[in-house]
């Protein structure tokens, strides 16, 4: 892979160890994917922030990088951590709190913004056609497919390295020829709610592998439903983008897939693992983090109802959205539900809180909870989730 004179100097260590190790990570990644050069990026979004999923081993690397003067050269944001300070953080051990806060301190030293959200595009909409290095899979698919930005699905180390160097290898979705559709998906079923959009994504992820599809039959779709589709397709497969709407592209020999109502129904059913007799310990909404419109919708549907005894209800969002939705948040929390920022159920300590059954309208959570949370799942639309959480 070709490096400019300045990049060679960084690679040789002339600008310090932190820049050198990050350049070596990017150069090695570029070699693995046959990239010819590095390209500038406008934004890096890092994962590997939650101590629950990160563990102890990588913390020493973060400390070394920060101590050696590693600094983000571009806009740099972060995925959720393992708890919020207002609610969950009070219920985890002191050691966990200290280790998580140390992780955040290292990112702060390196100039990352503590957005702590999987929906960074609510904080600021990336420019169409801008090159980025994002490591949150659901946000990657949304950025490429809905917002028209260009980003590969980075790992935590490569997104961190890209932030510090300000560049990423020119491969994958960064090249126009690799953004062309390889499959034609005909949606024969009419999708009724957010969980069916999630089910569509989950089903496509399992059958497309990494093939970019054109999805025919998606019309007048809300961004919130597209978000559920993006999150689910990234969860069960390696698809990094899709085309939809009024797409006029000449298709060569592409795989053709027909999606019928029975495929959606079966996928919805498969994402529930708890028996019908079980009630949820936790009703969880906000994976990916809730938008302003979703917070408003939840507040309106809650009305004057109150939380049931024996069940928790979490609505997860970013600090930015929570601040914009103050009045709706107050209404939600009067019911006994908690509007939580900085974390989500998938990356927090639900087991320590005695949560064994999680009810959610997120296909991503329903897919991950049995392994990451060791919890059974109930997959249901928003209205049913709130009915299970609230009296009346």
Which tens digit of pLDDT belongs to each residue from 223-258?
Answer: 999 999 999 999 999 999 999 986 666 677 788 999
* Position 204 confidence tier, pLDDT thresholds 50, 70, 90: very high
Question: The pTM is what?
Answer: 0.97
Average pLDDT value for residue range 76-105? 94
pLDDT category of residue 12 using cuts at 50, 70 and 90: very high
Is the pLDDT assigned to residue 376 strictly greater than 90?
A: yes
Rounded to an integer, what distance in angstroms lies between the CA atom of residue 280 and that of residue 360?
Answer: 9
Decide: 121 and 231 in contact? Cβ < 8 Å. no
Share of the chain above pLDDT 90, in %: 94
Across the range 98-123, mean pLDDT stands at 98
Q: Find the DSSP H helices in the chain.
A: 5-11, 17-32, 51-54, 57-67, 94-109, 120-123, 137-142, 156-165, 194-208, 223-236, 261-270, 292-302, 319-324, 326-334, 363-368, 382-389
What does the pLDDT average to over 321-347?
97
User: What pLDDT shows up at residue 125?
Assistant: 97
Delimiting residues of CATH 3.30.499.10 domain(s) in the chain? 5-177, 282-389
What residues have CB less than 8 Å from 162, skipping those under 6 apart?
Answer: 22, 26, 41, 44, 74, 133, 154, 168
pLDDT in the model for residue 250 = 64
pLDDT of residue 248: 60
**Predicted confidence (pLDDT) at residue 133 exceeds the cutoff of 70:** yes
pLDDT value, residue 91: 87
**pLDDT at residue 286, rounded to an integer:** 98
Evaluate if residue 212 carries a pLDDT over 70: yes
Residue 40 pLDDT grade (very low, low, confident, very high; cuts 50, 70, 90): very high
Give the HSE-up count for residue 385: Cα atoms under 13 Å, Cβ half-sphere.
29
- Strands 167-169, 38-40: pairing is antiparallel
Domain 5-177, CATH: 3.30.499.10
135-171: per-residue pLDDT in tens?
A: 999 999 999 999 999 999 999 999 999 999 999 999 9
Distances (CA, A) of 255 to 144, 239, 278: 21, 14, 41
Alpha-carbon gap, residue 382 to 337, rounded angstroms = 14
- CATH code for 282-389? 3.30.499.10
pLDDT value at position 383?
98
pLDDT (average), residues 12-20: 98
Q: For the residues 373-385, what does the mean pLDDT come to?
A: 98
């Amino acid at each position: 892979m070709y490096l400019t004179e300045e990049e060679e100097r960084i690679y040789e260590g002339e600008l310090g160890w932190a820049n050198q190790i990050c350049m070596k990570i990017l150069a090695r990644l570029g070699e693995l994917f046959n990239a010819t050069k590095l390209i500038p990026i406008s934004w890096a979004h890092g994962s590997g922030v939650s101590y629950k999923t990160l563990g102890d081993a990588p913390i020493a690397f973060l400390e070394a990088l920060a101590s050696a003067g590693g600094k983000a050269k571009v806009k740099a944001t972060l995925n959720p951590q393992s708890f919020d300070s207002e609610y969950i953080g009070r219920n985890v051990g002191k050691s966990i709190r200290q280790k998580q806060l140390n992780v955040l301190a290292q990112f702060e030293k390196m100039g990352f913004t503590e957005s702590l959200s999987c929906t960074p595009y609510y904080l600021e909409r990336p420019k169409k056609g801008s090159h980025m290095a994002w490591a949150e899979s659901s946000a990657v698919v949304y950025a490429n497919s809905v917002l028209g930005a260009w980003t590969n699905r980075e790992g935590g180390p490569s997104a961190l390295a890209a932030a510090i160097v300000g560049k990423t290898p020119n491969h994958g979705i960064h090249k126009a020829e690799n953004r062309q559709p390889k499959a034609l998906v005909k949606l024969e079923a009419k999708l009724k709610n957010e969980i069916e959009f999630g089910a569509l994504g989950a089903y496509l992820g399992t059958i497309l592998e990494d093939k970019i599809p054109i999805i025919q039959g998606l019309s007048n779709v809300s961004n919130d439903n597209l978000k559920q589709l993006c999150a689910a397709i990234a969860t069960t497969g390696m698809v990094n983008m899709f085309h939809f709407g009024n797409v006029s592209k000449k298709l060569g020999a592409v795989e053709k897939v027909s999606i019928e109502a029975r495929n959606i129904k079966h996928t919805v059913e498969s994402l529930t693992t708890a028996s019908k007799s079980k009630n949820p310990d936790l009703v969880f909404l906000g994976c990916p983090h809730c938008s302003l419109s979703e917070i408003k919708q939840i507040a309106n549907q809650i009305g004057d109802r109150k939380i049931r005894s024996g069940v928790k209800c979490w609505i997860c969002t970013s600090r930015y959205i929570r601040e914009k939705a103050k009045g709706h948040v107050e209404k939600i929390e009067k019911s006994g539900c908690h509007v939580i920022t900085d974390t989500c159920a998938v990356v927090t300590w639900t087991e320590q809180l005695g949560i064994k059954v999680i009810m959610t309208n997120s296909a991503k959570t329903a897919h991950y909870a049995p392994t990451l949370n060791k919890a059974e799942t109930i997959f249901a639309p928003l209205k049913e989730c709130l009915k299970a959480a609230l009296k009346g």
